[in-house]
């Protein structure tokens, strides 16, 4: 596993800053109460607080690799619950095929957004329904056995370990089930560099750099990147052309 301090001092969270020392800028974020709106193509749309979700589903721990598209990586123990538990609770309508996720938008608490006004805030992401239902897709409320520090996406975030890190959207406030593939934040800005699917793949270089290897943020070791970030046995069948 990666060193806890290193993991919490090298983050991407553009709402606060474009630099990696996010932990210096997060104090003003208010993380409780934290209502999350769950809606769209579901039978039981609802607003649930992050704490209530934890009480409802309980917590388990998962040690996952996290691979940023910028070719750095870490291995961290998340606590949380599988995303699929949430789907059972809201009951999907049959035409729900994708999910759109959204982060908070509070320029007074996260002033980084005002420094890049050309970005389409609030940060948003998306998954196919079958990707979201995969048992690896995780909702994290903690890391290293503690509640999530703000720089890691407090109080609640998504973790999709076989995709580049930007798919793992932090500080979630909205989950919407939809019929058509939603746009994502990075896809809106640079579709060739950050496509919707964005599975980790060492054989497909980013237009501006190789994805063949990655640097571990704590040790500095450079290691080979694995296809699907090493989770192929669990997810490759999602992408097998029939």
Ligand X SMILES: Nc1nc2c(c(=O)[nH]1)N[C@H]1C(S)=C(S)[C@@H](COP(=O)(O)O)O[C@H]1N2
Binding site for Mo ion (CB under 5 A): 12, 68, 165-166
The verdict on 11 binding ligand X (CB under 6 A) reads yes
C-alpha distance across the termini of the chain, in Å: 37
Report the sign of the C-alpha dihedral through residues 167, 25, 30, 121, in that order: negative
Grouping H, G, I as helix, E, B as strand and the rest as coil, residue 235 is helix
Nearest approach in angstroms of CB 15 to ligand X is: 6
Residues 209-228, one symbol each (x = binds ligand X by CB under 6 A, - = not), give --------------------
The verdict on 65 binding ligand X (CB under 6 A) reads no
The verdict on 2 binding ligand X (CB under 6 A) reads no
The verdict on 137 binding ligand X (CB under 6 A) reads no
The verdict on 13 binding ligand X (CB under 6 A) reads yes
Question: Which residue is closest to ligand X by CB?
Answer: 165
The verdict on 168 binding ligand X (CB under 6 A) reads yes
Residue 83 CA to its chain's centroid (Å): 12
Return the residue of 41, 87, 169, 173 that touches ligand X, per CB under 6 A.
169
Nearest approach in angstroms of CB 237 to ligand X is: 25
Percent of the chain that is helix, strand, coil (3-state, to 5): 25, 30, 45
Return the residue of 79, 103, 141, 211 that touches ligand X, per CB under 6 A.
103
The verdict on 163 binding ligand X (CB under 6 A) reads no
CA distances from 90 to 29, 128, 142 (A): 28, 17, 23
Q: Which stretch binds ligand X (CB under 6 A): 26-34, 41-49, 90-98, 167-175?
A: 167-175
81 binds, among Mo ion, ligand X, none (CB under 5 to 8 A by kind): none
Query: Would you tell me how many other CB atoms lie within 10 Å of the CB of residue 55?
Result: 9
Grouping H, G, I as helix, E, B as strand and the rest as coil, residue 199 is strand
């Amino acid at each position: 596993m990666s060193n806890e301090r290193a993991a919490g001092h090298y983050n991407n969270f553009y709402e606060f800053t474009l630099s990696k020392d996010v932990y210096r800028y997060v104090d003003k974020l208010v993380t409780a109460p934290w209502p999350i709106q769950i809606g769209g193509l579901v039978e039981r749309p609802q607003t649930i607080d992050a704490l209530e979700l934890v009480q409802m589903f309980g917590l388990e721990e998962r040690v996952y690799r996290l691979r940023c598209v910028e070719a750095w990586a870490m291995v961290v123990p998340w606590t949380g619950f599988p995303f699929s538990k949430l789907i059972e609770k809201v009951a999907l309508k049959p035409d729900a095929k994708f999910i759109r996720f959204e982060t908070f938008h509070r320029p007074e608490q996260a002033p980084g957004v005002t420094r890049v006004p050309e970005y389409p805030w609030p940060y948003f992401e998306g998954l196919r329904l079958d990707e979201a239902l995969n048992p690896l897709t995780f909702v994290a409320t903690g890391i290293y056995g503690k509640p999530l520090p703000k720089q890691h996406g407090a109080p609640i975030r998504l973790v999709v370990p076989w995709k580049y890190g930007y798919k793992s959207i932090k500080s979630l406030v909205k989950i919407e089930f939809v019929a058509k593939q939603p746009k994502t934040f990075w896809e809106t800005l640079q579709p060739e560099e950050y496509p919707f699917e964005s599975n980790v793949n060492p054989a497909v270089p980013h237009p501006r750099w190789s994805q063949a290897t990655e640097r571990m943020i704590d040790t500095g070791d450079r290691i080979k990147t694995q296809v699907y970030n090493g989770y192929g046995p669990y997810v490759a069948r999602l992408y097998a052309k029939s």
